[in-house]
Amino acid sequence: GIQVEQSPPDLILQEGANSTLWCNFSDSVNNLQWFHQNPWGQLINLFYIPSGTKQNGRLSATTVATERYSLLYISSSQTTDSGVYFCASYGSSNTGKLIFGQGTTLQVKP
Amino acid sequence: DGGITQSPKYLFRKEGQNVTLSCEQNLNHDAMYWYRQDPGQGLRLIYYSQIVNDFQKGDIAEGYSVSREKKESFPLTVTSAQKNPTAFYLCASSKSVQYNQPQHFGDGTRLSIL
């Protein structure tokens, strides 16, 4: 099945800095979602982005399916951005199995 | 507001006991899912259901059981056969399975062994 790899595994930023989180997958994908898991465990949908670029406030995401990667860009980071960021994909078959990467743990310091 | 409600938030299990985690959604979604998350790890699929009275095993179904008697409800039972049940359990739903629709998650249940 599809493998999803995220990098970096850990990231520490000073408030106000920008950062890019990467998601690479081993096979073609039909769906790519980015999630933010806050310190209380809530998994928040950030983007559903099978291809192209989307922006939502200080966050933007780009998926290039032909090159098998997606990236999440966080600008002007805030302490509330801290948590774990996951990307996930179904892969090329309609099995209902959303395959998650291991996550990037982000800590934003004031 | 539409959403997914999981209860309880915290649950403790004694040795040899079965426990049931509740998941209810009012999004009118056909598909529902259960995931397990261990500390520092991503999510792994336990079971999913595409429609009422139908469900399929995910990657780690052993020691778990589910039912789907109503569209809005998908309870998960952690049986005594699951030898390492301590984890964070997340329920999700999507409009369908067939068209790779985005999944939306509840707030989770933390299960621990007494």
Q: Smallest Cα–Cα separation from B45: which of B34, B54, B55, B37?
A: B34
Interface contact B91, partner A, CB < 8 A: no
Query: Which residues in chain B have their CB less than 8 angstroms from residue A50's CB?
Result: 100
Binning pLDDT at 50, 70 and 90, where does residue A49 land?
very high
Binning pLDDT at 50, 70 and 90, where does residue A8 land?
very high
Antiparallel, parallel or unpaired: β B87-94 and B109-113: antiparallel
- Burial class of B54 by CB neighbour count within 10 A (0 to 12, 13 to 18, 19+): exposed
Interface contact A14, partner B, CB < 8 A: no
State how far residue A95 is from chain B, nearest Cα, in angstroms. 7
Which residues, at least 6 apart from A92, have a Cβ–Cβ distance to it below 8 Å? A2, A27, A28, A29, A30
Query: Stretch B1-9: mean pLDDT, rounded?
Result: 89
Interface contact A98-B45, CB threshold 8 A = yes
pLDDT in tens, B11-34: 998 888 999 999 999 999 999 999
pLDDT in tens, A54-77: 999 999 999 998 899 999 999 999
At A109 the pLDDT is: 97
Which A residues, 54 through 93, put their C-beta within 8 Å of a C-beta on chain B?
86, 88, 90
Question: How far is Cα A1 from Cα A18, in angstroms, rounded to an integer?
Answer: 33
Interface contact A28, partner B, CB < 8 A: no
Which B residues, 19 through 78, put their C-beta within 8 Å of a C-beta on chain A?
31, 33, 41-45, 48, 50, 56, 58-59
Question: How far is Cα B50 from Cα B30, in angstroms, rounded to an integer?
Answer: 6
Residue B57 scores a pLDDT above 90: yes
At B1 the pLDDT is: 61
At A93 the pLDDT is: 62
Percentage of residues in chain A with pLDDT exceeding 70? 95
CB B18 within 8 A of CB B80: yes
At A92 the pLDDT is: 62
Binning pLDDT at 50, 70 and 90, where does residue B93 land?
very high
| Closest chain B CA to residue A92 | B100
**A65 phi/psi in degrees, rounded to 5:** -65, -35
Query: Which residues in chain B have their CB less than 8 angstroms from residue A102's CB?
Result: 41-42
Residue A29 scores a pLDDT above 80: no
